[in-house]
């Protein structure tokens, strides 16, 4: 009888230990996401460049160079953001190439001899004939970033699209050839810099085919189309 209290104490401890073994668990998940400041990209005014009506009789026998126009690609971000842009030709394989133009004795629009690879963008076809070509240039000397002209560590940059390397092409004054294979950003050659706004001056320089190659009895549309895509770095 004297051992009974001790025995009861042992049973009570066993009951508590059994209750702990039957406990269950749950977890509190803490999540969410940090999103970059939203950016928009577009052109000042209308999204197109219109060269108007060009009388067939005014076309040059060796190809017609039209006067350069300067639309502005406008980038606006909600805060300082690392961005780059690329361009896609929507009239693939319709451009007179530089090699074709030279072989035919035609003129050719200006392209910078070393600032990025040159490219001829399409202007569509008429009766299977190429209407011409257009070269596109970035004009750094007329470009504004965060409201300021380019200088020092804020330049126009170019490198192979999707690369993580430094930017081998960079300029504050010399034109840069716009092409399909590169991406373009802003900052120093070592690294792109976050921007809030950019107003990129473009040079649009079309070449029209020889009149002898084009049909003279119908209206010929100049039908170039290039899509610009903004991506976050």
Answer yes or no: is pLDDT of 170 > 70: yes
**pLDDT (tens digit per residue) in 41-90:** 999 876 679 999 999 999 999 999 999 999 999 999 999 999 999 999 99
Higher pLDDT: 207 or 13? It is 207
For the whole model, what pTM was predicted?
Answer: 0.84
Q: What is the DSSP string of 125-155?
A: EETTEE-EEEEEEE-GGG-EETTEE-BTTBE
| SS3 of residue 80 by DSSP | strand
Instruction: Judge whether 199 and 28 are in contact, CB under 8 Å.
Output: no
Neighbours of 74 (CB within 10 A): 16
- Residues for the chain: how many in total? 233
Q: Measure the CA–CA gap between 191 and 170, rounded to whole angstroms.
A: 11
Neighbours of 132 (CB within 10 A): 30
Domain ranges of the chain: 64-232
Whether the CA torsion 181, 185, 189, 193 is positive or negative: it is negative
Instruction: Judge whether 185 and 167 are in contact, CB under 8 Å.
Output: yes
Residue 104, burial from CB neighbour count under 10 angstroms (0-12, 13-18, 19+): middle
Answer yes or no: is pLDDT of 180 > 90: yes
The residues, any chain, with a CB within 8 Å of residue 57's CB and separated by 6 or more, are none
Q: In this structure, what token pair is assigned to residue 160? A: 């192979």
Q: Measure the CA–CA gap between 91 and 209, rounded to whole angstroms.
A: 16
* pLDDT value of residue 20: 56
**pLDDT (tens digit per residue) in 183-225:** 999 999 999 999 999 999 999 999 999 999 999 999 999 999 9
Q: How far is CA 122 from the centre of its chain?
A: 18
């Amino acid at each position: 009888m004297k051992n009974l209290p001790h025995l009861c104490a042992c049973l009570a401890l066993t009951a508590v230990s059994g209750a702990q073994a039957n406990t269950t668990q749950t977890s509190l998940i803490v999540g969410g996401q940090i999103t970059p400041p939203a950016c928009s990209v577009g052109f000042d005014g209308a999204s197109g460049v219109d060269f108007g009506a060009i009388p067939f009789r005014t076309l040059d026998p060796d190809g017609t160079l039209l006067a350069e126009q300067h639309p502005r690609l406008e980038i606006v971000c909600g805060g300082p953001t690392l961005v780059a842009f690329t361009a896609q030709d929507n009239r693939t394989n319709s451009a007179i190439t530089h090699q074709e133009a030279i072989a035919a004795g035609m003129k050719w629009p200006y392209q910078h001899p070393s600032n990025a690879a040159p490219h001829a963008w399409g202007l569509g076809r008429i009766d299977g004939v190429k209407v011409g070509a257009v070269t596109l240039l970035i004009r750094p000397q007329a470009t504004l970033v965060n409201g300021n002209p380019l200088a020092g560590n804020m330049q126009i940059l170019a490198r192979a699209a999707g690369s993580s390397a430094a930017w081998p092409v960079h300029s504050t004054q010399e034109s840069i050839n716009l092409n399909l294979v590169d991406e373009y950003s802003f900052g120093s050659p070592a690294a792109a810099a976050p921007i809030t706004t950019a107003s990129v001056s473009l040079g649009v320089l079309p070449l029209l085919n020889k009149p002898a190659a084009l049909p003279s009895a119908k209206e010929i549309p100049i039908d170039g189309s290039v899509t610009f895509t903004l991506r976050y770095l």
